[in-house]
Amino acid sequence: MAAPTIVFDLDGTLIDTAPDLVEALNVIFTREGLSPLPYDTARNLVGGGAKAMIARGIEAEGRIFSPAKLENMFADFIAHYSDHLADRSRPFPGLACALDALAARGCQFAVCTNKLERLSVLLLKQFDLADRFMTICGQDTFGVQKPDPEVLRRTVAAAGGTMQRTIMIGDSNIDICTARAAGVPIVAVEFGYSERPVAEFAPDRTISHFAQLPASIAAIWSAI
């Protein structure tokens, strides 16, 4: 059987982006007279895209802002974050070696994220990772975002793969729900930004380090 297309989430899966995302969030909150969120609280808000992160952060402070105000805060967030997206963010340990091992087996890779496409590409280029992926798709690439399975379907198509030979890698219930709705297996990483232990959402496999990913992929693929 031909090797699978492996579709990765980005924030909390490929890259530990929370330090820079939380910093950007708190810069914007401070400008608006809101209290900065504790890192551990804000870290778990990552995953649904920046706009959702801002809205959930405001909700956590017991405040309500108008849609227009949220849009302005989102624009300010993106402007700040674009200049600081790789200040402290880093690939998770073992990622490059895992990609090398899987590529040697014929796997091809794609990214499906709720981050904006432009920022996703820019971030991965900072770590010389962008060229490893057949396509990098964000929430604005197709006008839909996870957990809508259509974004995963279109990402796989853009990578030249098929849904029947796709495996997803993510860190949250959003990713698991997306994979389930699209009918593809998913490996969940335990080092991401899930508010609850990701194993509680019943992924097909969990890993605690990227060194475990090739074996997990092989086990899933051999059972299909």
For 120: left if phi > 0, alpha if psi spans -120 to 50, otherwise beta; the answer is alpha
Q: What's the rounded Cα separation, in Å, for the pair 29 and 25?
A: 6
Q: Is residue 87 flagged as an active site residue?
A: no
Q: Which of 9, 11, 171, 204 is catalytic?
A: 9
Residue type, 219: A
Surface-to-core class of residue 109, CB atoms within 10 Å of its CB (0-12 exposed, 13-18 middle, 19+ buried)? buried
CB-based contact 155:144 (threshold 8 Å): no
Q: Which residues are catalytic?
A: 9
